[in-house]
Amino acid sequence: MLLIAGLGNPGRRYAGHRHNIGFMAADAIHRRHRFSPWRARFQGETSDGMLNGEKALLLKPATYMNESGRSVGEAMRYFKLAPADVVVIYDELDLPPGKARVKTGGSSTSHRGIRSIEAHIGKGFRRLRLGIGHPGRRDLVNRYVLHDFAKADAEWLEPLLDAVAEHVPLLASGEESSFMNRVHLATADDDGANDLPDAPPAAKPARSAERKEGGIGGAFAGLKRLLGQKS
């Protein structure tokens, strides 16, 4: 059985916040696949379904982000799951908007929801990090994550959520690399630039021979020719 926990804060007030992209991903999975109606359970909302022939449980903790581990831990213990059976979806400041990464375990993180889950179930769970970008300054982070996505963000947010929902069955069968490849192909820009690091400023193109003949360079060259003819 696979437990997929999307992280966020409960309530309409927080629904559109960047911090709630985990809830948004869980809802997208729920819409795409044949999952049962949401119901209150394990200090959150849950829905049952099947992914690649594997039973799956969607979970949206209602404990608020900082206490997400209480809900995830309760569900995991009830079904006698190991941390490896858990996938947690959450927002990642250190990934560019629209990027997604999957990894198992990892070092300590500044994400309070993940810290709470680590405290309750350990570090061996899989993490699906969805990039929301960084505001640029640490003192702006809280306001940034606890604020609605901008309208322009829909250009990358909707394709990302759609891709995660469509290809999440690959996570159920342990095919993380295939999942990442499919999500990348679905969300990459047409020119592939979405998967490249920020490029340094382009070097100025060399001036053509015709352009070199003009301006100061051209005048200097002409003067040299004139003096050469007189000498």
Read off the amino acid at residue 26.
A
* pLDDT score of 93: 95
- pLDDT of 201 over the 80 cut: no
The structure tokens listed for 168 are 């999440």
The beta-strand segments (E) located in the chain are 2-6, 39-41, 44-51, 54-61, 86-92, 100-104, 126-131
In the predicted structure, residue 222 carries a pLDDT above the cut 70: no
User: Catalytic annotation on 19?
Assistant: yes
CA quadruple 87, 29, 49, 176: dihedral, nearest 10: -40
Which residue shows structure tokens 């044949």?
A: 34
Over residues 44-94, the pLDDT tens digits come to 999 999 999 999 999 999 999 999 999 999 999 999 999 999 999 999 999
| Mean of pLDDT over the chain | 86
Q: What local confidence, expressed as pLDDT, does residue 108 receive?
A: 63
pLDDT, residue 129, reads 97
Residues 6+ apart with CB under 8 A from 178: 167, 170
- Cβ contacts of 137 within 8 Å, gap of 6 or more: none
Contacts 24+ apart (CB under 8 A), 136-140: none
Calculate what percentage of the chain has a pLDDT beyond 90: 78
* pLDDT exceeds 60 at position 43: yes
Burial of 14 (0-12, 13-18, 19+ CB in 10 A): middle
Confidence of residue 110 (pLDDT cuts 50, 70, 90): confident
Output the pLDDT for position 194.
45
Instruction: Tell me the pLDDT band of 200, cut-offs 50, 70 and 90.
Output: very low
CATH number of the structural domain 2-195: 3.40.50.1470
User: Both tokens of residue 1?
Assistant: 């059985």
CB 111 within 8 A of CB 94: no
Q: Do 25 and 165 contact (CB within 8 A), yes or no?
A: yes
**Rounded CA gap, 126 and 143, in Å?**
27
User: Predicted confidence band at 188 (pLDDT cuts at 50, 70, 90)?
Assistant: confident
Determine the angle formed by the axes of helices 176-187 and 154-167, rounding to 10 degrees. Answer: 150
- For residue 192, the model assigns a pLDDT of 46
| pLDDT tens per residue, range 129-171 | 999 999 999 999 999 999 999 999 999 999 999 999 999 999 9
Q: How far apart are CA 82 and CA 202, in angstroms?
A: 49
Catalytic residue among 17, 19, 30, 167: 19
- Whether residue 205 is predicted with pLDDT greater than 50 in this model: the reply is no
CA pair distance 98, 92, nearest whole angstrom = 10
User: Residues 204, 197: contact at Cβ < 8 Å?
Assistant: no
Of the candidate ranges 40-44, 76-80, 219-223, the one whose mean pLDDT is the lowest: 219-223
pLDDT at 21 (0 to 100): 98
The CA-based angle 45-51-41, given to 5 degrees, is 15
